[in-house]
């Protein structure tokens, strides 16, 4: 910290002090300062108790207990000049004790604080005012494992900061505040700086947390879809076993949205497609060379009318000039993830695939022969 002399255009360092040399103590001073101005910790907090010892079967007491605007309990531990080695362990214990507090117990704790330290007041009214709610019944307090830790000290040992950073990585909200007293002549100053996480890192961590949450959500969605697809294919393959279509006799259920079987021409499989919004039967032209796929497509397209007549209805001819592969398919809109309709979609797959195979069997073989004769490269 510096003083600024605008006349001389110079800055002068202010003398940093220790709490002990100034005669300040943790309980009588630092604790009282924060109880009076909890917003010094960077946000709006409501102190609901100090030196709280309302834990069953223990004689331990935490320094300050507060609520944030989200209704989460905030455990504030103060350590003056040195954090000590056990401050994180202490705070974690207190958080675990507080995790079981009910909404009614939180209100009662606050009421006791008001009666003892604030000359009374109505806890319900003050809580409603703090949360800007018409009634305390609309406020959620101490839900889940949202308890937060705030550690305040002039100096933090490495074992404390290392543990705090690790806890942050595990999703536990912990903040470390470095407090430093200064003397400027007869005037005393106090700086309170959040060092873990830094404001910049906090914003980054919020972004990371959001990303991780999104990734976890996506992972759950995929896992559910994989399970759903495998279940559908089990039913579909059993139906194919009982049909006259033997393409899928040696195929096993899959987590994928497609199930393919050979056509007799390399790189040209017949595929069943099971998607959320549609079902398809597909002849894929997906050989390693784009030129070969386009040649096969064009050769088949010359016989489009006779193929569609054999199939019994129009097909979708997708040359896909911007892609290496091409495909020809028949599709139907569907509510694929509705299990009650699966029998309908399985029946559709079982009906359409033999028709597709029969319509393309001879033309595809002829196209493959033409491809070999032409020697497309």
Q: pLDDT tens digits, residue range 271-296?
A: 999 998 999 999 999 999 999 999 99
Peptide bond into 197 cis (omega under 30): yes
199-226: pLDDT as tens digits: 655 554 555 555 665 666 566 666 788 8
Does 210 map to a domain?
no
Same domain? 229 vs 321: yes
176 and 63 co-located in one domain: yes
The alpha carbons of the chain give a radius of gyration, in whole angstroms, of 35
Regarding whether 250 and 187 lie in a shared domain, the answer is no
- In this structure, the dihedral spanned by the alpha carbons of residues 148, 152, 156 and 162, taken in order and rounded to 10 degrees, is 10
* Closest C-alpha to 64, from 2, 136, 115, 113: 113
- Domain assignment present for residue 27? The answer is yes
Most confident of 77-91, 160-174, 206-220, 234-248: 234-248
Q: Are 85 and 133 within one domain?
A: yes
**Which of these three, 147, 162, 197, is where a domain ends?**
197
Lowest mean pLDDT among 24-38, 44-58, 182-196, 321-335: 44-58
DSSP classification of residue 1: -
Q: Is residue 169 pLDDT above 90, yes or no?
A: no
Give the number of other CB atoms < 10 A from CB of residue 45.
22
Q: Tell me, yes or no, whether 181 lies in a domain.
A: yes
Please determine, for residue 377, whether its predicted confidence score (pLDDT) is greater than 80.
Answer: no
**Looking at the structure, do residues 266 and 167 belong to the same domain, yes or no?**
no
Last residue of a domain, one of 167, 197, 227: 197
DSSP state of 14: P
The confidence score (pLDDT) of residue 369 equals: 95
The answer to whether residue 206 sits within a structural domain is: no
In-domain check, residue 286: yes
pLDDT band at 58 (very low <50, low <70, confident <90, very high): confident
The pair of structure tokens assigned to 136 is: 């305390």
Are the C-beta atoms of residues 345 and 351 closer than 8 Å to each other? no
Predicted local distance difference test score (pLDDT) of residue 209: 56
- Is 55 a residue whose pLDDT tops 80? no
DSSP, res 120: -
Portion of the chain with pLDDT greater than 70, in percent = 93
Same structural domain, 239 and 110 = no
**For residue 20, is it within any domain?**
yes
Look over the chain and give the mean of its residue pLDDT values, rounded to a whole number.
90
- My answer on whether 172 and 282 are in the same domain is no
Distance of CA 202 to the CA centre of its chain: 16
Average pLDDT on 244-256 reads 92
Residue in the block written with tokens 């497309």: 376
Residue 175 to residue 124: CA distance in whole angstroms: 29
Of 44-48, 110-114, 373-377, the least confident: 373-377
Angle at 255 between CA 254 and CA 256, to 5 degrees: 90
Number of domains in the chain: 2
Q: 369 by DSSP, 3-state: which? A: helix
DSSP H or E stretch at residue 351:
helix 342-374
Q: Would you say the pTM of this structure is higher than 0.85? A: no
Highest mean pLDDT among 64-68, 145-149, 160-164, 198-202: 64-68
CATH number of domain containing 175? 3.40.1350.10
Residues 312 and 357: their CA atoms lie apart, in Å, by 12
Higher per-residue confidence, 21 vs 138: 21
Q: What are 255's two structure tokens?
A: 């987590």
The answer to whether 164 and 94 have CB atoms below 8 angstroms apart is: no
Range of the domain at 24: 2-197
Q: Are 142 and 106 in contact (CB under 8 A)?
A: yes
Q: What's the CA gap between 182 and 251, in Å, rounded? A: 77
Q: Are residues 44 and 166 in the same domain?
A: yes
pLDDT tens readout for residues 70-113 = 999 999 999 887 777 788 898 999 999 999 999 999 999 999 99
Q: Is 203 domain-assigned? A: no
Is residue 171 in a domain?
Answer: yes
Q: Are residues 160 and 221 in the same domain?
A: no
Mean pLDDT of 230-246: 94
Assigned token pair, 162: 């290392």
29 plus 98 within the same structural domain: yes
Q: Are residues 251 and 182 in the same domain?
A: no
* The last residue of a domain, from among 163, 197, 231: 197
Do 314 and 234 lie in one domain? The reply is yes
């Amino acid at each position: 910290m510096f003083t600024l002399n605008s006349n001389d255009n110079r800055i002068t360092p202010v003398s940093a002090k220790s709490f002990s040399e100034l005669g300040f103590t943790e309980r009588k001073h630092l604790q009282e300062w924060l109880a009076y101005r909890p917003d010094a910790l960077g946000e709006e907090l409501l102190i609901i108790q100090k030196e709280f010892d309302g834990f069953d079967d223990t004689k331990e007491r935490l320094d300050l207990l507060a609520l944030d605007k989200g209704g989460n309990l905030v455990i504030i531990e103060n350590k003056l000049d040195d954090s000590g080695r056990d401050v994180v362990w202490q705070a974690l214990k207190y958080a675990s004790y507080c995790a079981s507090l009910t909404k009614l117990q939180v209100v009662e704790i606050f009421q006791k604080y008001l009666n003892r330290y604030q000359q009374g007041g109505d806890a319900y009214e003050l809580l409603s005012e703090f949360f800007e709610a018409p009634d305390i019944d609309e406020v959620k307090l101490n839900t889940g494992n949202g308890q937060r830790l705030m550690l305040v000290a002039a100096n933090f040992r490495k074992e404390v900061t290392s543990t705090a950073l690790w806890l942050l990585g595990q999703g536990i909200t912990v903040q470390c505040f470095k407090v430093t007293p200064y003397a400027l002549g007869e005037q005393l100053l106090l700086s309170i700086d959040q060092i873990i996480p830094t404001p910049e890192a906090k914003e980054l961590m919020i972004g990371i947390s959001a990303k991780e949450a999104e990734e976890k959500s996506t992972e759950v969605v995929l896992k559910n879809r994989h399970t759903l697809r495998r279940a559908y294919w089990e039913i579909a393959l059993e139906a194919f076993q009982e049909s006259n279509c033997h393409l899928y006799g040696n195929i096993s259920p899959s987590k994928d949205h497609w199930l393919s079987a050979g056509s007799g021409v390399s790189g040209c499989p017949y595929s069943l497609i099971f998607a959320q919004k549609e079902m398809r039967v597909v002849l894929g032209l997906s050989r390693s060379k784009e030129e070969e796929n386009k040649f096969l497509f064009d050769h088949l397209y010359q016989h489009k009318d006779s193929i569609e007549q054999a199939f019994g209805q129009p097909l979708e001819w997708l040359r896909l000039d911007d892609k290496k592969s091409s495909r020809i398919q028949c599709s139907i809109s569907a509510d694929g993830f509705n299990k009650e309709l699966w029998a309908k979609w399985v029946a559709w797959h079982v009906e359409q695939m033999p028709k597709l195979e029969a319509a393309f069997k001879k033309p595809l073989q002829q196209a493959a022969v033409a491809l070999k004769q032409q020697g497309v490269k």
